[in-house]
Chains A and B, each alone.
Chain A
Amino acid sequence: MLKDITLGQYYPVDSVIHRLDPRVKLFGTLIYIICLFVSDHVAGFALMTALLAGVIFLSKVPFSYMVRGLKAILLLLVIAGAFNLFLTPGEAAFTLWKISVTRQGIRSALLMIFRMVYLIIGTSIMTLTTTPNQLTDGLEKSLSVLNYIHVPVHEIAMMMSIALRFIPILIEETDKIMKAQMARGADFEKRGLINKAKAMVPLLVPLFVSAFRRANDLALAMEARCYHGGEGRTKMKPLHYRRVDGVAYLLILLALVASIVVAVLF
C-alpha cells in the first residue's frame, strides 16, 4: 500500500523545458517568484498569465497535473483570503452584519490568492520537468559559490541524493514492519490523534534502528569504493550549458525586466 507513493512528481515526457539545464530552471523559478511579488496590477497579472501559459504549453505536461498541487493548500487559501478580506482597514465597500469588507481588503485578498496559486503552479512546473537527481546536481553546481564560505555543498547534495535513493527502501521496510506488527495484533486503524501517534511508536523505533544500521553499512561501502568527499572527484554526468539554455536565461531576464516595467508604469 505504501509502495504506491511516487517520489517527486516528475512527469516523463520529452520537451524543451525537460531538456533545459536544471540550473536554468532553478534560476527561472527564482526570477518567477520575484516577478510574482513585483506585479500588483491587472496588467502584471496578464503578463504573468501569458508567461505561465507559454511555459506550460512548452512543457507538454497536462495542466491538470499542476492544479493537483493546489488541493493541498486550498484550506490555507480560504483562511488567508478570509483574513485579508475582513481584517484589512480602509474604506468600506459593503457591510455584512457587523463586519465590513473594505475595498483594500478585496484587493489584497485577490492579490494574495493570485500569488499563491501562481506560486504553486509555477514551482510545480520545475518539479514536474526535472528529475530529483538533476535537481540535486543543479543545486550542487549553482550553490558551489558557497564553498568559499565553507558550506559543504557537495556533501549536502550527496546526502540529498542518497536520501532519495533510500526513500523507497525505507517505505518498503515500513510496510514490512507494519505487517509484522499487525500480525501480532497491533492496530493501526484506531481513530483519534493520540491513538494514531501511539500506534506509530512501535513502527518508528525499529525503523530508526534499521535506518542507522543501513547508514553504517552504506558508509562502509562508500569508503570501500574510495569515497573521500568532493575533492578530486569527477562527474559521470557533468552539467553542460547548450545554446537553448542561453536563450532561456535571456528570456527569463526579459520577463523580469518586463514585469518591473509593467509594475512601474501602472
Chain B
Amino acid sequence: MGIIEAKDLVHEYYRRDEEGNVESIETAVDHVDLSVQPGQFISILGHNGSGKSTLAKHINALLLPTEGTLLVDGKDTSVAANELSIRRNAGMVFQNPDNQIIASVVEEDVGFGPENIGVPTEEIWQRVEKALKSVGMWEYRTHSPNRLSGGQKQRVAIAGVMAMEPKCIILDEPTAMLDPDGRKEVIKTAHELNKKKGVTIILITHYMEEVVDSDYVYVMEKGAVVMQGSPREIFSQVDALKKYRLDVPQVTLLADELRKAGMNIPAGILTREELLEALCR
C-alpha cells in the first residue's frame, strides 16, 4: 500500500451569508483518487483555482475531507487522534517563505518542529545540523532569515520540515514567489532529498518545467484529476495541456509544432537535449 492513498476525496467550501446560512457550495476537490508509493517524486500540476492547494492541505490534515477517505502512512486523516503523527510524517512547505519562518535565527526556526514534537534537546541539535546540511544552509545557521534570499528562505523552510524526519514532504507552490535562480535552487534541493534521503516528495506547481524530472504527474482542473501519467505521457498531449491553461515548455511546444508539420520527431519531448538528438538523427 502506498504512503498516501486518497479514495474518492471530495472537499467542499461553504460560502455563508451573515446569518450563517449556506449561500453557495464550491467543490474544490472533486472525487480525487491518488496513490503515492514511498520514495516517489510526484507532481501535481494545475492552474490557479484548480484545487491543487486544497488537496495538498488535506495530506497534512490541515483540511478534512467532506467525503471520501485519505490515508497518510496508513492513518486516516479524519481521525483527530492521528493529526499529530500525520503532520509529523507529512511535512509541508508553503508558498510565501516569509510567512512560514517563525524564529529570528535560522537554526532556531529549524528547531521549531522538533521542539513541538518533544524531541530531547541534544537530539534537536543533531537533527538541526543534519537538516541544514541536507539543504546546504549550514553556514547560515546563525543568520537572521530577513537577510536571506527567497530561495535560501525556502530551503530553510524545507530544512525545518526535514528536521521532523518526515516520510514525505508536500511542497505547495514553493517557487511561486521566487526568481528563476531561487526556483532552480528549491527544485534541485527537493530532488536531492528525494534521491539521497529517500523522502517522498509531492510537488504542487503550475510551472511545467519543474515537473519534467518527476516520476508521476497529475494534472488537476476544477478540482478533478484530468490527466495522469509519466511526464513524457503528459507532455505528449500538448493540445490537452493548453486546454487546461498550462504553460507548456517552449521545447515541447516547438517539438510538437515540428511533428505536426510532418517531421519525424517522437511525442513528449522534455528537454532541449532530447530535441537536439531527435533533430540530428
Contact = CB atoms under 8 A, between A and B. Distances in A.
Interface of A: 132-133, 161-162, 164-165, 168-169, 214, 217-218, 220-228, 232-238
Nearest to B60: A224
A221 B99 contact: yes
Given A164-B104, A224-B62, A217 B119 contact: no
A233 B115 contact: yes
B91 A225 contact: yes
> B102, B107, B121, B161: which has the most chain A beta carbons within 10 Å?
B102
A9 to B, nearest CB: 16
Contacts of A132: 104
Using C-beta atoms within 8 Å of the partner chain, give the interface range for chain B. 35 or more
Given A161-B104, A217-B99, A235-B115, A224 B121 contact: no
24 contacts: A162-B102, A169-B146, A214-B98, A214-B99, A217-B94, A217-B100, A218-B100, A220-B94, A221-B94, A223-B87, A224-B60, A224-B87, A224-B91, A225-B116, A225-B160, A226-B87, A226-B88, A226-B117, A232-B118, A234-B120, A235-B115, A235-B121, A236-B114, A236-B121
A18 to B, nearest CB: 16
10 nearest A-B residue pairs (beta carbon): A221-B100, A236-B111, A217-B99, A226-B116, A224-B92, A225-B113, A165-B104, A236-B124, A232-B118, A226-B87
B204 to A, nearest CB: 14
Contacts of B100: 217-218, 221
Interface in B104-159: 104-105, 107-108, 111-121, 124-125, 128, 144-146
B96 interface: yes
Interface of B: 60, 62, 84, 87-88, 91-92, 94, 96, 98-105, 107-108, 111-121, 124-125, 128, 144-146, 160-161, 164
A225 B87 contact: yes
Contacts of A227: 112, 116
B158 to A, nearest CB: 12
B84 A165 contact: no
B84 A217 contact: no
